[in-house]
Amino acid sequence: MSDTPEARLAAEGFDLPDPPKPAGLYVPVVRVGDLLHLSGHISTTKGRLGDGLDVADGQRAARQATLALLATVRRELGSLDKVARVVKAVGFVASTPDFDDQPQVMNGCSSMLITAFGEAGRSARSAVGVAALPLGVAVEIEAIFEAMS
């Protein structure tokens, strides 16, 4: 296993994008003590699960949103090495009323966080189905990270 979270992600074929810019009147992250409260970060995949998108598509979308979250964390802390642990991830999955695999979709996020941070990436989590998300995207994820003191 590589030495840094970014190296572990790169070994799996994932590179962090530039951090996204806010699309409204909010900030991407608020730091309170050692906790980073991240606003929702969206996928680039558009559509709804159960209506043209399947679980594998949703997991890819969750990974996209997670990479955006991690880019914001890196900008805030200067390095992902300064993450002590992932506290919580909340995923919103645009889905049809009969789609009920939102937890499987969020496994795309959780597996990436565990790849990056090991057991410190295993967090509390919620997966919520919603009728629609901003810009028609499939997945939006918000999270809380603990920074090293």
**E strand or H helix at 38:** strand 35-42
pLDDT tens per residue, range 75-112: 999 999 999 999 999 999 999 999 999 999 999 999 99
Q: What is the pLDDT of residue 16?
A: 96
pLDDT digits (tens, 9 = 90+) for 109-149: 999 999 999 999 999 999 999 999 999 999 999 999 999 98
Give me the pLDDT at residue 149, please.
87
What is the C-alpha to C-alpha distance for residues 50 and 67, in angstroms, rounded to an integer?
24
In 3D space, the residue among 95, 34, 89, 37 whose CA is nearest the CA of residue 66 turns out to be 89
- The reported pTM is 0.96
Q: Are strands 139-147 and 35-42 parallel, antiparallel or unpaired?
A: antiparallel
